[in-house]
Amino acid sequence: MNGFATILVKDLRLEARGGDSTITLAAMSLLILVVIVFALDPVGGARDAATAAGALWVALIFSGMIGATRALVAERRNGCTAALLLSPVDRATIYCAKLAAAVIFMAVAEIATVIVMVLFFNLDFDFRLARLATIVAAGALGFAALATLLTAIADRVRGGDLLLPLLAVPLFVPALIAGVRASTAALAGAPFMAFMQWLKILGAFDLLFLGAGYLLFEHVIGED
Amino acid sequence: MMEAALVEARCLDKIFGSSPVLRGLDLRVIGGAGAMIIGRNGAGKSTLLRTLAGLTRPSAGEALLFGRPSTDLPSNLRARIALVTHQSFLYPTLSARENLEFVAALYRVEDGRADVDGWLDRVGLRAVADERVRTFSRGMEQRLALARALLPQPDILLMDEPFAALDGDGVALVIDLVREALARCSAIVIAAHEPLALDGFSFYELVRGRLARPVNELSRENLRPFGA
Amino acid sequence: MSAKTARLMGLLTLALMIAALFMVFVYVPTEADQGIVQRIFYFHVPCAWVAFAAFALVAIAGIFYLWLGQQIWDDLAYAAAETGMVFCTLVLITGSIWAKPIWGAWWTWDSRLTTTLILWLLYGGYLLLRAMADDTSQVARFAAVVGIIAAADVPVIVVSVRLWRTIHPAVLVTRQGGHGLEDPRMVATLLVSMAAFTALFGWLLMLRFALLRARWRLECAARELGLAAAAAGDLR
């Protein structure tokens, strides 16, 4: 994994220098949460695990769409993508580094969102959140794996910004279904076994896209 | 027995749509030698260099580095090539030092830290080492790009119009660096639109997609009005 | 692929289609519960089978393209995607037509129909990618990768949507679970219909594929012409 840490640290540094963009991402995630609250107007407001879970995952997808692509997009300037491809680093390693950066960016936004969600929906900060965190982390990982691969393509296609969500959303459906159901169960305090099957699906999804991304990234990364 | 060429093109074709940019192009550059390729704008110099570097696949024929197809180089060989183009390959929000340190780490240069300082001195950017590249002038960027390319001590150096936008000092710097690289037995390919006198270099004209050896005069197609 | 093969395929398709239409509208008995509308089942199911099989073909052709690098595999993938999309759309339309009289709703979120909807979106994304990337040299690679990951995702989608539906009590009652076809005539009709629609798919695929191959030959010829013109220019 030569170069993985080098590229990841560089990407994190770029992001930190990039003028509060991760904070903006977190803010956007929160705004989406607010919009959903107004749009759905949950009946009985308070402890509605299902709405909270749904809102959380909508925010995850939207913030992921932007956040998960930042690391790869940062290479567009000055032909840095070509520079990376010419360097001794393997393309699969580049994929892993970009993926890791994407997960970190999404994690920052998601942590903020979860906290605010707990406040908005009057939930409790307890063990259920730990389970929720695991589920959201798994979802973010899968989305990042998917988005990093697709962004490599979308970057090289005109009008590719539209293409990314068009492809990402249908592909993400199983993780979305599993994630929302598992999150609902976690927030409602259901026993662990109850949402095992959803975790299995999330796990299978993550494995699938991590594997696919790792193997296929080299075919699509390039600079045009 | 011919000495093994470090950079080689064999019957290289590169076609975009239906317009051939490179046609049956042949080139051989051994270690310690250089090739200067003169051509007008649009003649295909950049395409040639990109294809040699392995950034694009040839339509037909072969582009070889170290005897291997340039699009399929193993990582240990990629560590020994460098490309300099009009794109700087620099990150604007990182400082000069950080950019060089990044390359040193990526190319696993031993003693990277010390080398970075040395190179900053060499290209005259020590004073602005910790300034962000975004604030640099074009000339400063190019100097840094040169340092970036040469930091890993590449055995193959491909340069696309390295003298453009440089002042007299800058041109002298490039010539010095090129001479050192030759002395190190690197193979160098430089593309330019005007020839520059350099020892150890063979001169070629890129005309109609092929390389031709001009004897003394450039062809009608490549002559530039004096002073242009 | 000669014109003769295509014509033969066309004739075979015609024959099977006539047989199928006869069986669906004349031969097979009307189903007890659902009445005449149920006959659409014999179009709906074969279209679904074709839509999914075509997508698998897109992915397999994509794998061969990445592996062997030959344009013919990409042409096959593209042809399969375009043709498969047609059948996928038909599944959704026939599903709607079937649902309305039976359940009083244009759309039911039952697991099979939902999965088909997502498949339709995947087809759409694939074809959109093709359209938007058409001017790049890498379009075939991009499409191959997208086709592969989408097809790999389909089983996961199927499982997740099915679980989604069973745990949540359906707001609208789902269609009959399996193909509980008691009467052997129904089975026979279904099989013939499957064959007919598969033949139709095959025929349309051949036509589309032939067109793409022709386009490729044209591009190669243009390239040769470009090279020849340049060579002629040399002689001046």
pLDDT, residue A21, reads: 75
Structural domain contains residue C2: no
Query: Is B87 near chain A, with CB under 8 Å?
Result: yes
The predicted-structure confidence for B165-193, as pLDDT tens digits, reads as follows 788 888 999 999 999 999 999 999 999 98
Q: What is the ipTM of this complex?
A: 0.91
Whether B17 and C222 lie within 8 Å, measured CB to CB = yes
Which residues of C fall within a CB distance of 8 Å from B15? 223, 226-227
Structural domain contains residue C1: no
Domain total of chain A: 1
Query: Is C230 near chain B, with CB under 8 Å?
Result: yes
Which residues of A fall within a CB distance of 8 Å from C150? 167, 170-171
**Alpha-carbon gap: C234 to the closest alpha carbon of chain B (Å):** 8
**Domain limits for position A176:** 4-219
Q: Which residue of B has its CA nearest to C223?
A: B18
Helices A160-187, A49-67: crossing angle, 10 deg rounding: 150
The predicted-structure confidence for C5-46, as pLDDT tens digits, reads as follows 889 999 999 999 999 988 888 888 877 777 778 888 889 999
DSSP A159-209: THHHHHHHHHHHHHHHHHHHHHHHHHHHHTT--GGGGHHHHHHHHHHHHHH
Query: Is C141 near chain A, with CB under 8 Å?
Result: yes
Query: Is B108 near chain A, with CB under 8 Å?
Result: yes
**Alpha-carbon gap: C172 to the closest alpha carbon of chain A (Å):** 19
Structural domain contains residue A224: no
Q: Residues A136, A114: contact at Cβ < 8 Å?
A: yes
Structural domain contains residue C80: yes
Structural domain contains residue C178: no
**Bridge pairing between strands B68-69 and B60-65:** antiparallel
- Average confidence (pLDDT) over B61-90: 93
Query: Is B70 near chain A, with CB under 8 Å?
Result: no
pLDDT, residue B213, reads: 81
Q: Residues A89, A46: contact at Cβ < 8 Å?
A: no
Whether B102 and A10 lie within 8 Å, measured CB to CB = yes
Distinct helix (H) and strand (E) counts, chain A: 9, 0
Q: What pTM was computed for the model?
A: 0.91
All domains in chain B, ordered by first residue: 1-80+155-228 (3.40.50.300), 89-153 (no CATH)
Whether A88 and B105 lie within 8 Å, measured CB to CB = no
Q: How confident is the model at residue B223 (pLDDT cuts 50, 70, 90)?
A: low
Whether A79 and B89 lie within 8 Å, measured CB to CB = yes
Per-residue pLDDT of chain C (236 residues; tens, 9 = 90+): 678 888 999 999 999 999 998 888 888 887 777 777 888 888 999 999 999 999 999 999 999 999 999 999 999 999 999 999 999 999 999 988 888 888 788 888 888 889 999 999 999 999 999 999 888 889 999 999 999 999 999 999 999 998 888 754 443 334 444 455 667 888 888 899 999 999 999 999 999 999 999 999 999 998 888 888 888 887 76
Q: What is the mean pLDDT of each run of 10 residues along chain A (224 residues)?
A: 90 85 84 82 63 88 86 89 95 95 91 85 78 92 96 91 93 95 86 83 95 95 82
Domain total of chain C: 1
Structural domain contains residue C177: no
Whether A13 and B83 lie within 8 Å, measured CB to CB = no
Which residues of A fall within a CB distance of 8 Å from B53? 86
* pLDDT at B119 exceeding the cut of 60: yes
pLDDT, residue C200, reads: 95
Structural domain contains residue A146: yes
Going from the C-alpha of B204 to that of each of B29, B35, B160, B176, B189, the distances in angstroms are 12, 7, 14, 21, 11
pLDDT, residue A40, reads: 77
Structural domain contains residue A184: yes
Q: Residue C2's CB: how many other CB atoms inside 10 A?
A: 8
pLDDT, residue A104, reads: 92
**Domain limits for position C192:** 7-172+183-235
Which residues of C fall within a CB distance of 8 Å from A156? 133, 136, 138, 142
* pLDDT at B112 exceeding the cut of 70: yes
